[in-house]
Amino acid sequence: MNHFEYRDGVLHAEDLPLTAIAEAVGTPVYVYSRATLERHAQVFAQALSILPKVHIAFAIKANPNLAVLRVMQREGFGADVVSGGELARALAAGMPAADIVFSGVGKQHHEMIDGLVAGIGQFNLESEEEGFELAAIAAARGLTAACALRVNPDVDARTHAKISTGKAENKFGVPIDRAAAIYARLAALPGLNMRGIAVHIGSQLNSLEPFEEAFAKVGALIAELRVMGQSVTHADLGGGLGVTYKAGEEFPTPEAYAAMVASATKGWDVTLMFEPGRVICGNAGVLLTRVVRVKRSSNQVPFMVVDAAMNDLARPAMYGAWHDFDAVQPSGQRMTAHIVGPICETGDTFAMDRETDALVAGDLAVFRTAGAYGATMASSYNSRGFVPEVMVDGEKWAVVADRILPAAISAAERVPDWLD
């Protein structure tokens, strides 16, 4: 469920017509619903309440906007971060350092220091080499880093290749058949408190079976470690639960996911950690855009050119991803169109041969399910700047990220004297 619905023929975000935002802020613009964010967070947490010990850390990479993070903080979520910048955002949003998990394969020296100094709750180590480095940094400062070792279970998540993270050829984690020995070596190092195992096999999963396969391997590893005399008190099961991008699609519910986890982890006696991202914020946002013109240069399907582009919403160009596209004020008439942006690349295509509401120049439309991996993946390609972000709360709304104009970007550049 989301709070983007038609009222009197106009698409609203909660109680606010999207036409009002377009008039005040311009387009393109991301629009988030606070009510949807809160509801999705509460549904996910409630589903997991059947488990004995749970920690939920919102995957900041999905949507790092500070207002979104504040909503997550108010719902009791911690943060899963993958950079020093995301760590700073989590802290700025009021998330307790003890509830922050630092993941990612490329943690740099200064980022490890930042995490240690902040007192974060856990580092998810992606390699033995990373563990040695973190141990040295922590020990030199008289600190101890609580850590989980991320394993690669070699499980096919059956998702897009670019967001699959649990197969042997993916860069994430250590091979699960080597994990016990690596864990034991790292546990012997001063500066580290090895306390758990982490796994994350991919994003946008449409089946629970890959999760079950991966968790079975993790359970066997935990048992092996305990036989070896190692302590395992935490298991980070990552995220990955998919959401509906195309009307009519069905994905496992949080309740079904929680029931599967309860069965798969029975007897583990650990704190189970989760890193939801897309499942919380995906359907909580739309990208509001305006039609520039409809290009009818032949008897073929026309090109509907909108003012949003691949630099604003990269998923269709990067993954061939589908986003439902709907008029803000539908006339009831339909058309088939290629929906494209103004970037000078053929890849700037949102949809081909899409049946959609009939639109003309100046009409407003939305790309739905744009609350995750939308604004956060934007660029300034073609010197277009960055689109603003708005959050709606009932009839109230606020710009929660300003539009960054091309002039502001070029103002940060300079031409050296020796080029004159």
- Judging by DSSP bridges, how do beta strands 285-295 and 303-306 pair with one another? antiparallel
pLDDT per position as a tens digit, 362-383: 999 999 999 999 999 999 999 9
The span from the CA of 122 to the CA of 5, in Å, is 40
388-394 average pLDDT score: 98
Please say if the pLDDT value at position 228 is more than 80: yes
Q: Which residues pair with 336 in a beta bridge?
A: 355
For residue 251 the two structure tokens come to 């994905």
229-249 average pLDDT score: 92
pLDDT per position as a tens digit, 320-346: 999 999 999 999 999 999 999 999 999
Q: At which of 252, 279, 306 does a domain end?
A: 279
* % the chain with pLDDT above 70: 97
Q: At which of 256, 279, 302 does a domain end?
A: 279
Indicate if 240 and 136 belong to the same structural domain. Answer: yes
112-141 average pLDDT score: 98
User: Residues of 322-341 as b/e, b for ≥16 C-beta within 10 angstroms?
Assistant: bbbbbbbbbeeeeeebbbbb
User: What pLDDT is attached to residue 159?
Assistant: 66
**The domain that contains 109 carries what CATH number?**
3.20.20.10
Domain tally for the chain?
A: 2
Which residue, chain included where needed, has tokens 């090895």? 194
pLDDT per position as a tens digit, 244-264: 999 888 889 999 999 999 999
Indicate if 73 and 8 belong to the same structural domain. Answer: no
The span from the CA of 252 to the CA of 418, in Å, is 61
User: What pLDDT is attached to residue 294?
Assistant: 96
User: What pLDDT is attached to residue 62?
Assistant: 97
Q: At which of 279, 301, 318 does a domain end?
A: 279
Indicate if 165 and 296 belong to the same structural domain. Answer: no
Please say if 344 is a catalytic residue. yes
Is 95 or 168 the better-scoring residue by pLDDT? 95
- Res. 158 pLDDT band, cuts 50 70 90: low
Indicate if 400 and 388 belong to the same structural domain. Answer: yes
294-319 average pLDDT score: 93
Indicate if 90 and 78 belong to the same structural domain. Answer: yes
Contact (CB, 8 A) for 62 and 83: no
Question: One of 1, 227, 247, 344 is an active-site residue; which one?
Answer: 344
Residue 90 neighbours by CB under 8 Å, 6+ apart: 60, 69, 78, 79, 81, 100
pLDDT per position as a tens digit, 269-279: 999 999 999 99
Contact (CB, 8 A) for 131 and 144: no
Mean pLDDT across the chain: 95
Which ranges of 15-77 would DSSP assign to H, the alpha helix?
18-25, 34-48, 66-74
Number of C-alpha atoms within 13 angstroms, CB side, residue 168?
Answer: 5
* % the chain with pLDDT above 90: 87
- Res. 299 pLDDT band, cuts 50 70 90: confident
Which residue, chain included where needed, has tokens 């400062």? 141
- Res. 166 pLDDT band, cuts 50 70 90: low
Indicate if 199 and 54 belong to the same structural domain. Answer: yes
